[in-house]
């Protein structure tokens, strides 16, 4: 079988990575564009991944003392105007509600009517509207810390959109917390970054780099922004979660004041942090291959596809009996806290069609059962993280043990594969020429292909950051944690520097 | 103790039911009004109830073959205009997005800018936007049935709002399904009404009447609307869930066509059905008392408050040891499929303050532990559905068994109490005078107090329905299922009638 025939996704990653991504999404039936500008429809297989992300994160948020709540979707324009940097950051791309009804336009259609006295903004993020509630809830240091999370839809009027990665409407969670001291708020900010990093590696099987954003890349209104950055298979970075130390900026804007232990009134210290349906984009781009989606078992909507094969009623009876026994044997099975689901697929399609259907959907394991398997009391099991032709014969009595063990191995394997890929494509660069060469495409037809992450020195000056961005479309993804001080020279201007930062092209 | 002192909620139900409702919501810290017109903030205890509602319904929807998905929040004006009755029903109260950014207004503020070529409506319900996707997904009878559910926020610009019962933005689920035949679509419509009725009685402990809406009360664009109706403690009806048979109306409007088994193209048959955060309003008004919220254990965010009582460090040590042993003993406990949670409350407040805190929050059981309980190796347990002073002494070794059994009893008891209340306040009325007297307040200061549900004959004519509505603000809640044919005369015009309907004042 030629390589071309083997491949379910056209084009391949090498041929055209951006188009490959769209085709993987389509082949796995995860989502599609709607006719509403930049808004996507998340289809059941994609939405089930999101629900699993929610489930796992909810557990982690609860363990760290957070509670879920829900705040209005509309932000009065006056709230929005309160924090100068914030409004500057979001005013250029927001949905504005100006009317409260439609009435006949006299031409057989409808026109907006009932103009509002104050326009509302559909939330692009909720610091200002949640701040208005927090200002009422917080009166004394005894009310602190206040630890709230919200699951919601938000809207940002993006000019160029792409399924999951950048859409006008997207789903996310946004944590909002209030603290008595700057130190506690900073501790919370870093704790939630750590939660995100742990979630990305343990559930999504994506290794991430934790670090601080530069002044130019931080959240509008934040004092410090921290992020987790992941490498996709085209060697670009994808910011996968952010945690913001907001200082007293939003507390001042919203009037979140409390009586401290000395009996004096002061502004509180706040944080916010979020991850979104973008994580599904990260998941797809980190692990999938030219056969389609590859899902980490801990986040997959379902785990084992069972494909019975028979040619007549007699074969059907024995094969289906065995298939049903397998389904039955997985009732209540779990990997860690995650329930294991099976899909018995006896649709009226060839076994190859059914197999490829599940390969493209990224189901971690496939079990084929034919009359010969019944005779030998064993089945053939294929792992999605290996080639589609690699199958293992497993005795019936060992099927559950084998599958549970292997699901754990797949989770580990795809994490390690992603980690190795990142390590192989992350280079310390100390020469400007080398840096420019690293980010210069070798092939004019594929301008996106480049070297990967560069760990290089940066003097800390915004001009140097800007110059590199202008020249190469390369940005500082973060100033990574846990690095030793090291003398060096800024990759742009040559000035002295004490630390390396992570440079990359990004989504 | 006088009755007045005993009561945590002011006013009582009898004194002012509407205000009592607001005060129960406030005392339990479930939600509050925001400064955004008609939008509420759902606080953690209220949102946790909603999450439990979602969990239970998701399970029931999944068992009946439905899958969750997500569709855009914005509906292009042109989609909205496609179904005439539908737009007529919703155009008068919708949020209209007309601009995509804000820019400086020259007076130090911001004004809407970037006018859209086509206005968007924030979904008041999603038939038209989901229909646009379904039109693409459905091509052949092999694609049917298509069984989708969405959890989402929706917006209806209501003139008069009340927490949970009627808010501008609310949270809900909306099921949308497509079928090959009228019969299958009708079967689905009635199946989902049955799911709602079962959910209301088994989880919310609210008995409901299932029936069909009259022409005048049905969903805009539906062929038939069915609802479940519950009686609140002020004897008014609350419509708690609706299921719509949409015929081919929306399939025609959205172009949902398929090739049938004969190879011909035809429009499909669709349904939609929904319940919302209004259910939390129903829950509060059906069960709560003058001490505050009463929660059915199967939907309560937490089940057992443990209130340790001590005066010094020595007492603290033994009491807390026992309290912790109790917390530990409930790890993994369940009633049916619902996990049992405990709250150990050793805040620096009096035991009375802590007890009342949990009474007002509606926690089903409270366990008090003092030094004397430690000595006798038993604890005092109070049930929320009984009076606050009624307590039962339970030996330590029986605490878990007693609590699990009692949680089941509370669930049953509050259901039966609500059923008895409805039965006592539902009357067959055959005389017009009696009917008018039934709905005429005895006391001018409390115009809301009236008789309850009337089962009376109706000839089927909209004018009679309208007359009663105009005179008494009483509507036909539904034409109930499962009634025998019975000869009678219309309560308004005296014309012949074969059936009784449910009349009531309603929310």
- Judge: A112–B129 Cβ closer than 8 Å, yes or no: no
Q: How do residues B432-478 score in pLDDT, each as one tens digit?
A: 999 999 998 877 776 677 889 999 999 999 999 999 999 999 999 99
Which of B42, B69, B109 shows the shortest C-beta gap to A43? Answer: B69
pLDDT of residue B6: 59
CATH code assigned to B17-287: 3.30.930.10
Residue A5's pLDDT band, with cuts at 50, 70 and 90, is low
Instruction: Give B71 to chain A, closest Cα distance, Å.
Output: 5
Cβ–Cβ of B171/A70 closer than 8 Å? yes
For residue B483, pLDDT beyond 90: no
Report how many helices (DSSP H) and strands (DSSP E) chain A contains, helices first: 15, 27
Residue range A87-99: mean pLDDT, rounded: 93
Answer CATH for A45-97+125-279 from 3.90.1150.10, 3.30.930.10, 3.40.50.300, 3.40.50.720: 3.30.930.10
Mutate to test the interface with B, among A46, A52, A72 (most CBs of B within 10 A): A72
Residues of B in contact with A100 (CB under 8 A): 93-96, 157
Mean pLDDT score, B71-95: 91
Percent of the residues in chain A that have a pLDDT greater than 70, as a whole number: 98
Peptide bond preceding B275 in cis form (omega within 30 of 0)? no
Helices assigned H by DSSP within B40-152: 44-63, 77-80, 84-90, 127-137
Fold classified for B304-413: Rossmann fold (3.40.50)
- Choosing among 3.40.50.800, 1.10.10.10, 3.40.50.880, 3.40.50.2300, the CATH entry for A304-420 is 3.40.50.800
| Closest approach of B45 to chain A, Cα-based (Å) | 8
Predicted confidence (pLDDT) at residue B2 exceeds the cutoff of 50: no
Phi and psi, residue A488, nearest 5°: -165, -170
The pTM (predicted TM-score) of the whole model is: 0.96
**CB B120 to CB A34 under 8 A?**
no
Confidence of residue B320 (pLDDT cuts 50, 70, 90): very high
Alpha-carbon distance of A287 to B109, in angstroms, equals 47
Mean pLDDT lowest for which of A125-139, A276-290, B99-113?
A: B99-113
Whether A3 shows a pLDDT value over 60: the answer reads no
Q: How far apart are the first and last CA of chain B?
A: 35
Interface contacts A/B by beta carbons within 8 Å: 186
Domain ranges of chain A: 45-97+125-279, 304-420, 426-504
Q: How far is CA A364 from CA A49, A226, B388, in A?
A: 14, 33, 54
Top-tier CATH class for B426-504:
alpha beta
**Residues B450, B452: Cα–Cα separation, whole Å:** 6
Out of B36, B40, B71, the one facing A76 most closely (by C-beta) is B36
Encoded tokens for A310: 């028979």
Nearest C-alpha of chain A: how many angstroms from B340? 16
d(CA A495, CA B390): 78
Nearest to A91 among B93, B102, B148 (CB): B102
Q: Do B122 and A97 touch (CB under 8 A)?
A: yes
Cβ pair B36:A87 closer than 8 A: no
Chain B residues whose beta carbon lies within 8 Å of the beta carbon of residue A72:
34, 36, 39-41, 169
Helix and strand numbers (H, E) in chain B are 15, 27
Question: Which chain B residue shows the shortest CA-CA distance from A45?
Answer: B69
Q: Looking at beta carbons, which residues of chain A come within 8 Å of B91?
A: 101-103, 110
For residue range A250-269, list pLDDT tens digits in order.
999 999 999 999 999 999 99
Of the pLDDT bands very low, low, confident and very high (cuts 50, 70, 90), residue A32 is: very high
Token pair, residue A325, equals 């026994």
Residue B97 phi, psi (nearest 5): -95, 120
Using one digit for the tens of pLDDT, what is the confidence trace for B336-385?
888 999 999 999 999 999 999 999 999 999 999 999 999 999 999 999 99
Q: Which two tokens stand for residue A263?
A: 């009996």
- CA–CA distance, A374 with A355 (Å, rounded to integer): 19
* From A133-147, A401-415, B216-230, B433-447, the region with the lowest mean pLDDT: B433-447
- Give the confidence band of B230 by pLDDT, cuts at 50, 70, 90: very high
The share of chain B scoring above pLDDT 90, in percent, equals: 90
Q: What is the DSSP letter of A235?
A: S
- Give the chain B residue whose CA is nearest to the CA of A148: B44
How confident is the model at residue B5, as a pLDDT?
A: 53
| Minimum distance, in Å, between the CA of residue A90 and any CA atom of chain B | 8
**How close is the nearest chain B Cα to the Cα of A103, in Å?**
7
**Nearest-CA distance B93 → chain A (Å):** 5
Using the beta-carbon criterion (under 8 Å), do B36 and A72 form an inter-chain contact? yes
């Amino acid at each position: 079988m030629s390589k071309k025939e083997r491949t379910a996704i056209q084009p391949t990653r090498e041929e055209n990575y951006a188009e490959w991504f769209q085709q993987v999404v389509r082949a796995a039936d995860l989502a599609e564009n709607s006719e509403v500008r930049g808004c996507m429809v998340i289809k059941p297989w994609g939405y089930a991944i999101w629900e699993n992300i929610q489930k796992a994160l909810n557990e982690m948020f609860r363990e760290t003392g957070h509670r879920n709540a829900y705040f209005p979707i509309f932000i009065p324009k006056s709230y929005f105007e309160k924090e100068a940097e914030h409004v500057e950051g979001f005013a250029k791309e927001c949905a504005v509600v100006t009317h409260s009804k439609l009435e006949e336009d006299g031409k057989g259609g409808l026109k907006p009517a009932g103009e509002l006295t104050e326009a509302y903004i559909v939330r692009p993020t909720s610091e200002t509207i949640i701040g208005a509630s927090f200002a009422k809830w917080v009166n004394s240091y005894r009310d602190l810390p206040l630890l709230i999370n919200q699951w919601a839809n938000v809207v940002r009027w993006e000019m160029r959109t792409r399924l999951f990665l950048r859409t006008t409407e997207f789903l996310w969670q946004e944590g909002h917390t209030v603290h008595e001291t700057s130190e506690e708020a900073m501790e919370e900010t870093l704790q939630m970054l750590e939660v995100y990093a742990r979630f990305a590696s343990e559930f999504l099987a994506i290794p991430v780099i934790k670090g601080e954003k530069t002044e130019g890349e931080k959240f509008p209104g934040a004092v410090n922004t921290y992020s987790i950055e992941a490498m996709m298979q085209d060697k670009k970075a994808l910011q996968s979660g952010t945690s913001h130390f907001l200082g007293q900026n939003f507390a001042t804007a919203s009037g979140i004041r409390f009586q401290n232990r000395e009996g004096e009134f002061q502004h509180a210290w706040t944080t916010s942090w979020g991850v979104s349906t973008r994580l599904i984009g990260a998941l797809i781009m980190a692990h999938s291959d030219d056969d389609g989606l590859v899902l980490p078992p801990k986040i997959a909507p379902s785990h084992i596809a069972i494909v019975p094969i028979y040619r007549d009623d007699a074969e059907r009876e024995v094969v289906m009996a065995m298939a049903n026994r397998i389904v039955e044997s997985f009732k209540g099975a779990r990997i860690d806290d995650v329930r294991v689901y099976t899909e018995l697929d006896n649709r009226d399609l060839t076994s190859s069609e059914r197999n490829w259907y599940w390969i493209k959907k990224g189901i971690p394991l496939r079990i084929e059962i034919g009359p010969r398997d019944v005779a030998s009391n064993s089945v053939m099991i294929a792992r999605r993280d290996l080639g589609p032709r690699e199958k293992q014969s497993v005795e019936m009595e060992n099927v559950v043990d084998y599958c549970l063990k292997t699901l754990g191995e797949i989770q580990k394997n795809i994490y390690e594969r992603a980690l190795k890929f990142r390590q192989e494509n992350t280079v310390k660069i100390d020469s400007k020429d080398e840096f420019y060469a690293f980010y210069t495409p070798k092939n004019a037809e594929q301008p996106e292909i480049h070297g990967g992450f560069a760990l290089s020195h940066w003097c800390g000056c915004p001009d140097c950051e800007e110059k590199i961005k202008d020249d190469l479309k390369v940005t500082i993804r973060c100033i990574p944690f846990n690095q030793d001080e090291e003398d060096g020279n800024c990759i742009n201007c040559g000035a002295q520097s004490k630390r390396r930062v992570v440079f990359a092209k990004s989504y």
